[in-house]
Structure 1
Amino acid sequence: MDEMLDQFLIEGRELVAQASDDFARLLRYPQDAAAIDSAFRAIHTLKGSVAIFALAPAERVLHAAEDVLERARKGSTRLDRETVTALVACLDAVDRWIDRIEAGGKLGGDADRSAAELVRLLPGNDADAPSEAEQPPEWLTSLMTREAATLSGASETLVAFRYVPDADCFFRGDDPFAIVAGIPDLITLAILPGGGGWPELQAIEPFTCFSVLEGVSAAALDQVKAAFRLVPDQVMLHPLAAPAEQDPDNGREKAAATLRVAAARVDALGERLSELIVAVNAFAPLAAQADRVDAALAASIRAAQVDLEQATSDLHRGVASVRLVPLAPTLRRLPRLVREIAASLQKQVEFSMAGEGLEVDKEIADGLFEPLLHLVRNALDHGIEAAERRQELGKPAVGRLALSAGREGDAVIVTLSDDGSGIDPARICEVAVARGLLSAEDAEALSESAALRLIFAPGFSTAGAVTDVSGRGVGMDAVLSAVERMRGHIDIDSRLGSGTRFRMRLPVNALTTRLLVVAVGTDRYGVALDQVVETVRIDSRSLMPVGEGLACVLRGRTVPVLSLAALLGLADVPAPATRLLVTRSGGERVALKVDGFAERIDALVRPPDGMLAAVRGVSGSTVTSDGGVLLVLNLPELAA
């Protein structure tokens, strides 16, 4: 992607997010002066950004929105809820256009019509769509495209000009180049052919001017006009929007404090760090070998290992901090999507977000939007009732959907809750049986929490018809898959008639994974520690037959016991003492028999590829200190 366009997409979305936050406050407090001022600055800066790329419909909409906010700033008009709602619609359109620019490089054929309709929604803009004369002229569009790199770095008000000297100007004593040289603060100039292009050399008439001069000045409009005072009929001038005002010192401080680094470079640094961790881990067996030869040498090796481990740990924390990004860019599209989906379902919904400033690993931020979008669709379609139904139930006509994010120890907790109809476990079991996902006997034996988790089964849906929002059976299973790809866990808490809460628990650090190495026969496997509830050792006589399987009692609760060897297709060797690794699958605790527990290591787990990608229950692989390959297991998938 073009570097300047990439920068525009990043900054444009940040400005959209800022304006969206301001409009959300103005919907509650329409006369909040600070929010009006902040929204004006964001819209003003965004207008200048889209002008650089000659996105005329977006510029026209933002200009109209800026006018409304400017009048509100000066106190000449008062904002009301209807006006702020129209401003939100304008911002949503620009947000969609930015997405289109990223996806296809253009706004789409309906952009001009949509812009005209949006402008008419704003007070003081009831006239028909702007005339062709009011549109940015073609010469200006070409100039801004041609000089985009230069204009993007400007921080002051600019004036573009197009000077078309009369063909006989030389006979009158005019010197076009001398006139242009008199323009103060000239920052760019292009000499272009007039008419149909540059003439052939033999056809040139030396006393006829056939050039056109286009350029940009950083001087004030009056100063540029003064430079052309003798030829005003041969000049077209067009002011260009300046970025929003900011404190110069603050701007310099931000520029010095922020450095944009390509994500691929950070990923490469993380991989090198993983290789360093593997090398450091190799010191322990090396010291053990040295013990048999020279105890002093072994002690020196261990001392060097401690120093290297400390330096590696510091480096790990540094790289992990570089990978931290705020959640806001990931979540910025959700308010617009909630409004659009709710409108398509003819429902009234108030959406709130908290904790979007929380910083998480970029891998988590990148992977979070997909499951959240599915959860939002599910809540709006299946959860929150229509206004009439809510009123019949004694609820407010406007439904509530809330998203929050926060830290809990070494985990990121993301919660989405609604005050809708809730989930009926009995109805879920009934649909699952009807669709052949489980038998009636198995459904009867399910706990309420296990019944709720049936919504994550592939192909499960309670929708009676396929719509643009749901009913395709590809929603909630995608949520579970996405969360598990991020080594996370999702819980459901629902009360029939009161609402539903989805709680995702995700790792803070996605750079490396803390693994517990377990033995199964003569083989070793890695298990992510965040999938391990506890490890226990019990007498084999404590295992009780239950149905066709085994179970044991742990902390007063009966827990099913499965053989990890059998799940991996290996022979299960009986032993007098049983080592159990307790995990969660389908929201319930499950104990897995293993033959032993080994060391705990920090490792970069690479996702499975090739033939390994088709193996059930394998989440990836890593390299051990002796150069071997360790398969990392996905316990919830194996135990399902």
Structure 2
Amino acid sequence: MSQELMAQFLVEGRELVAEAARGLSALALQPGDAAAMEACFRALHTLKGSTGLFDLEAMGRLLHAAEDRLTAIRDGAAGDLDALVAMLDQVDRWLDSLERHGRLPADATAIGQALAGHIREEAPTEAPPAGAAWTIPAEFAGLAGTALRYVPREDCFYLGDDPIAIASAIPRLTALRVSLRAPWDPSEPYDPFTCNLVVEAVSAAPRAEVEAGFRLVADQVQFADLVVPKAVDREAVAPEEVAPGDVTPGEVAPEQGGGARRSLRVDAARLDRLAALADDLVIAKAGLAGLAAQVEALPGGHALGQALRARQARLDRLAGDLHATIGRVRLVPLAPLFARFPRLVRDIAGSLSKIAALEVVGGEVEVDKAVVDALADPLLHVLRNALDHGIEDPARRRRAGKPEAGQIRLAARVDGDQVVIEVTDDGAGIDPVTIRDLALQRGLLAPEEAARLDDAAAIDLIFAPGFSTAASVTTLSGRGVGMDVVRSAAAGLGGKVAVTSTPGQGTQVQFRLPLAMALVRILVVACGTETYGLPLDAVVETARLTPDRVVPIRSGRAFQLRDQVLPLVRLADLVGAGGAAAAGQGERVVIATVRGQQVGFAVDAFVDRMDAALRPMGGLLAQAPGLMGTTLLADGGVLMVLDLAELVA
């Protein structure tokens, strides 16, 4: 099989494992959840069918056993779902092996048989529904080719199978017979959701080609090779001369629902290129405002300048809609990423002789694909730390009055235009005193610096490069690499990460990341010879103050805005632009909301308002405080967009 087909199988396989895991989680909470049961069946059945495209017999047999177990549970058999969870974990490991090595491990058959046997302890394998004996129908006499008998499962509709569509796709069909598996009982109500059909057919195509069309339902079909007796004229039964009452391959085709949702897989690199072009378009159209101003300044150019501004307004709307649409196309749910962590948490906890359970919330939240792709390693670092440094061993938890099993919660939620992802554990927490002492021992802080640190700042030291609380190097920790990488990864995505902890009660690591690629409306202001961008969603209004409205308060200044007295700070002082305020002149002020309070920022001039495609800070400026990101101006210059909340912190 081609590498492209295998790559697609791996992507779809992980999605199906995640869907089955969500269904099992729902069934654990509510055993009678029909929708969850159907979702599990659909995911496992589809994945089992896909294994038929590759030499993955061990995986296919294990998934078939899981289907049997689900059938028994749905029919009322007792038993928990632990064996099915273990099956999904093993399939996930096999997908990892396929991705890394292109094949299943050498022990896949043995492991698959052992797991399948464990699964079937409470759900014996059903006999093939097609039955052991099959009498070729008399009407097939004289036909040559591949005969088949397809007996769909009674619950095939719940699994997403369409028996008639499957039969109609048989290549070079020369005969077809559809009958009832069992006579209808007129005393019983008709059940449209139970399949009672038997499909028998003959195809002139090679057997391998016919079998390929039934790979998703291979356990429900029987095949036989038909040979025309010598007394029969072969030319009389050639597939090209089928009797008018027979079905030819082109006459029956599955209908495509007009309202069905269509999807298309697109290479991520193409989407990235499209997004970059949309950013460039936003930058390019921003130059029209300056061009319109120049035209209006020409003699008799006012009308032309106004017409140009009208065209610019329309281009603004179109470019904004295009940018937003591309941003929505790039959105993907967090569920497939989150679904990989429960198994990893169990494996890591087992290697540490600890007991831990992971609760996942918010997998339905959709974020930009770049965020999802970059989050796997940072989240894994955080979960490892929670298990290694946070969750205590069972004996210690008992002494602390806690349950033996530690609890870790991975949750995602939307907050405005950001996604907030939190990893919370109920472990030992972080002791700020210990952090200070370790920082002093390792020369990361001078004694006077350590004395000035409050508890929050001390805990923040875990993000320092080279810092580790581990006493020795293990396979999980002790090398001083981890949380600094986590912070760098968040900064590279235009976001932030912070830690809060209570000794003895637990720790929370919170990521705040951009939800999607979006345009930011900014106000461009001048401070001396420099220009900066301020996000307009934080700006309340702008004002011009006369000198008599500004009053000194201690070492600062304030001014009255209607019935409020607001602090006034020079933006140039905050950004280090230098220069002094002009004496005796009015001041231009931007009133912005900072942490719930209004603050006035004195600037030298209001330059422009514009839509900007914000790009996160990188390189040496990645950790610079007070910067949200950068954007390009129409003339190619770089404009830094400020984070006012951090500037006044």
TM-score, normalised via structure 1 length: 0.71
Inter-partner Cα distance in structure 2 for 1:594 and 1:366: 40
The offset of 1:111, in angstroms, is 2.7
Deviation at 1:12, TM superposition (A): 0.8
Indicate the RMSD between aligned Cα atoms, in angstroms. Answer: 4.7
User: Which residue of the other structure, out of 390, 395, 398, is the alignment partner of 2:402?
Assistant: 395
Range with greater deviation from structure 2 (84-93 or 593-602): 593-602
1:59 is matched with: 60
Residue 482 (str. 1) matches residue 489 (str. 2): yes
Given that 1:186 and 1:217 are in contact with CA atoms closer than 8 Å, whether structure 2 keeps it comes out as no
Post-superposition Cα deviations, 1:146-165, rounded to whole Å, max 9, x if no partner, equal xxxxxxx99748999xxxxx
Q: Sort the Cα spacing of 1:56 and 1:563 in 2 relative to 1 into closer, same or farther, 3 A.
A: farther
Q: Which residue of 2 aligns with 1:319?
A: 326
**C-alpha distance after superposition, 1:544-589 (max 9, x if no partner):** 59xxxxxxxxx999999996665xxxx73344589899999xxxxx
Conserved 8 A contact 2:491-2:617: no
Aligned partner letter, 1:259: L
Q: Which residue of 1 aligns with 2:287?
A: 282
User: Which moves more between the two structures, 113-122 or 387-396?
Assistant: 113-122
Instruction: Give the CA deviation at 1:126.
Output: 12
Tell me if 1:22 matches 2:17: no
- Structure 1 residue identity aligned to 2:262: A
Match of 1:463 among 470, 473, 478: 470
* 1:148 paired residue number: none
Deviation at 1:228, TM superposition (A): 6.0
* CA distance, structure 2, for counterparts of residue 636 and residue 373 of structure 1: 30
Q: Which amino acid aligns with 1:327?
A: L
Q: Distance in 2 between matches of 1:277 and 1:472?
A: 44
* Offset, 1:475: 1.2
* Partner of residue 142, structure 1: none
Query: In the alignment, which residue of structure 2 is the partner of 1:38?
Result: 39
Find out whether 1:438 has 2:435 as its counterpart: no
Whole-Å Cα distance in 2 between the matches of residues 573 and 454 of structure 1? 35
2: CA distance between counterparts of 1:114 and 1:540? Answer: 78
Which of 605, 612, 633 does residue 603 from structure 1 map onto? 612
Distance (Å, rounded) in 2 between the aligned partners of 1:557 and 1:384: 45
Q: Contact 1:452 / 1:492 at 8 angstroms: preserved in 2?
A: yes
Structure 2 counterpart of 1:185, from 200, 203, 207: 203
Structure 2 residue 111 is the aligned partner of structure 1 residue 114:
yes
Match of 2:303 among 296, 301, 317: 296
Q: Cα distance 1:40–1:64, how it changes in 2: closer, same or farther (>3 A)? A: same
Return the match for 1:101 from 98, 103, 122: 98
Could you say what secondary structure the match of 2:392 adopts? coil
Alignment CA distance shift 1:19-1:557 (3 Å):
farther
Specify the SS of the correspondent of 1:53: coil
Deviation at 1:326, TM superposition (A): 1.1
Give me the whole-angstrom Cα distance separating, in 2, the residues matched to 1:93 and 1:338: 14
Cα distance, 1:62 vs. partner?
A: 2.0
Q: C-alpha separation between the residues in 2 aligned to 1:592 and 1:460? A: 38
- Over 3 Å counting, the alpha-carbon distance change for 1:557 and 1:301 in structure 2 is closer
Question: What's the CA shift for 1:66?
Answer: 2.6
State the partner residue of 1:572: 578
Query: Could you tell me how far apart the structure 1 residues matched to 2:362 and 2:370 are?
Result: 18
Question: Is the alpha carbon distance of 1:606 and 1:19 closer, same or farther for their aligned partners in structure 2, counting shifts above 3 Å?
Answer: same
Alpha-carbon distance in structure 2 between the residues aligned to 1:262 and 1:317: 19
| Whole-angstrom distance in 2 between the partners of 1:452 and 1:557 | 31
Judged with a 3 Å threshold, the aligned counterparts in structure 2 of structure 1 residues 559 and 604 are, in CA distance, closer, same or farther, namely: closer
Q: Distance in 2 between matches of 1:506 and 1:447?
A: 26
Equivalence map 1:473-622=2 (5 Å): 473-512=480-519, 517=524, 519=526, 521-524=528-531, 572-575=578-581, 598-604=607-613, 617=624, 622=631
* C-alpha distance 517-368 of structure 1, shift in aligned 2 (>3 A): farther
Q: What corresponds to 1:130 in structure 2?
A: none
Counterpart for residue 79 of structure 1 = 79
Cα 1:285–1:526, aligned 2, differ >3 Å: closer, same or farther? same
- Indicate conservation of the 8 Å contact 1:184/1:224, yes or no: no
Task: Provide closer, same or farther for how the CA distance between residues 226 and 51 of structure 1 changes in structure 2, counting only shifts above 3 A.
Answer: closer
Opposite residue 96 of structure 1, the aligned amino acid is: R
Letter in 1 for 2:40: A
Closer, same or farther: CA 283–638 of 1 in aligned 2, 3 Å = same
| Matched-pair contact (CA < 8 Å) for 2:490–2:511 | yes
Quick one: structure 1 residues 222 and 50, their matched pair in 2 at CA, closer, same or farther if it must change by over 3 Å? closer
Q: In structure 1, what residue type is equivalent to 2:293?
A: A
Q: CA deviation at 1:591?
A: 12
In the alignment, the residues of structure 2 paired with residue 292 and residue 108 of structure 1 have an alpha-carbon distance, to the nearest angstrom, of 74
- State the match for 1:176 in structure 2: none
Q: Counterparts of 2:540 and 2:95 in 1: how far apart (Å)? A: 44
Q: Alpha carbons of 1:514 and 1:427: their partners in 2 closer, same or farther (altered >3 Å)?
A: farther
Note the C-alpha offset of 1:468.
2.0
The secondary structure found in structure 2 opposite 1:225 is strand
**Mind listing any 5+ residue stretches in structure 1 that lack a counterpart?**
128-152, 161-181, 191-212, 232-247, 546-554, 585-589
Q: State the partner residue of 1:237.
A: none
The equivalent of 2:149 in structure 1 is: none
Gaps of 5+ in 2: 125-161, 172-199, 231-253, 557-564
Q: SS of the residue aligned with 2:52?
A: helix
> In structure 2, do the counterparts of structure 1 residues 228 and 58 end up closer, same or farther at CA, with 3 Å as the change threshold?
farther
Match of 2:276 among 249, 271, 274: 271
CA distance in 2, matches of 1:635, 1:113: 60
Tell me by how many angstroms 1:427 deviates.
1.4
Structure 2 residue corresponding to 1:88, chosen from 85, 90, 102: 85
Contact 1:72-1:79 at 8 Å conserved across structures: yes
Matches of 1:257 and 1:214 in 2, distance apart? 27
Q: Which has the higher helix share?
A: 1
Aligned residue number for residue 5 of structure 2: 4
Letter in 2 for 1:390: R
Deviation at 1:217, TM superposition (A): 6.3
Specify the alignment match of 1:426 in structure 2: 433
CA contact (8 A) 1:582 1:591 kept: yes
User: In structure 2, what residue type is equivalent to 1:225?
Assistant: A
Q: For the residues of structure 2 that align with 1:524 and 1:38, how far apart are their CA atoms?
A: 55
1:368 aligns with 2:369: no
TM-score, normalised to structure 2's length?
0.70
Q: How far does the alpha carbon of each residue in 1:303-335 deviate from its partner, in whole angstroms, 9 at most, with x for none?
A: 222222122222222222112111112222111
Aligned 8 A contact 2:470 2:478 in 1: yes
The match for 2:226 is: 227
Contact 1:274 1:604 in 2 (8 A): yes
Deviation, structure 1 residue 437: 1.1
The residue identity in structure 2 corresponding to 1:288 is: A
Number of equivalences: 537
**Quick one: distance in 1 between partners of 2:6 and 2:600?**
52
Q: Is 2:631 the counterpart of 1:628? A: no
In the alignment, the residues of structure 2 paired with residue 68 and residue 5 of structure 1 have an alpha-carbon distance, to the nearest angstrom, of 28
